[in-house]
Amino acid sequence: MLLYLAFETDSDALGIFALTVSTFAPAVGAVIGYNASRRYDPEAPAPGALLSVGQGRLRLGVPAPQVFVSGGRRKNPGIAVRIFQAEL
């Protein structure tokens, strides 16, 4: 119907509109249909490191300080801030 209007109508504006719609409508419909039927996985939160590499992705996060106690007989408190973390 659109191609008939594009080539057989007497109005140039209607013909150009019909040709444009018949050209781009299938591609636009395919993109909308694909995105509407796709299931998106929720984005995993970035771990507490400044740079994190995991599952083939590089993520930027806010480093979270971690308090720990180390040592044998003498307990030494400490604080750690992760700058880089990689999950293989």
Distances in whole angstroms, Cα of residue 2 to Cα of each of 10, 12, 46, 69, 78: 14, 13, 50, 75, 73
**Domains of the chain: total:** 2
**Could you tell me the pLDDT band of residue 47, with boundaries at 50, 70 and 90?**
low
pLDDT per position as a tens digit, 50-76: 888 877 778 888 888 888 787 777 788
Asked if residue 42 belongs to a domain, the reply is: no
The residue range of the domain holding 14 is: 2-37
Predicted TM-score (pTM) above 0.85: no
Asked if residue 29 belongs to a domain, the reply is: yes
Asked if residue 73 belongs to a domain, the reply is: yes
Tell me what pLDDT residue 29 has: 93
Terminal Cα distance for the chain, rounded: 56
Residues 55 and 82 reside in one and the same domain = yes
Residues 29 and 55 reside in one and the same domain = no
Asked if residue 45 belongs to a domain, the reply is: no
Asked if residue 18 belongs to a domain, the reply is: yes
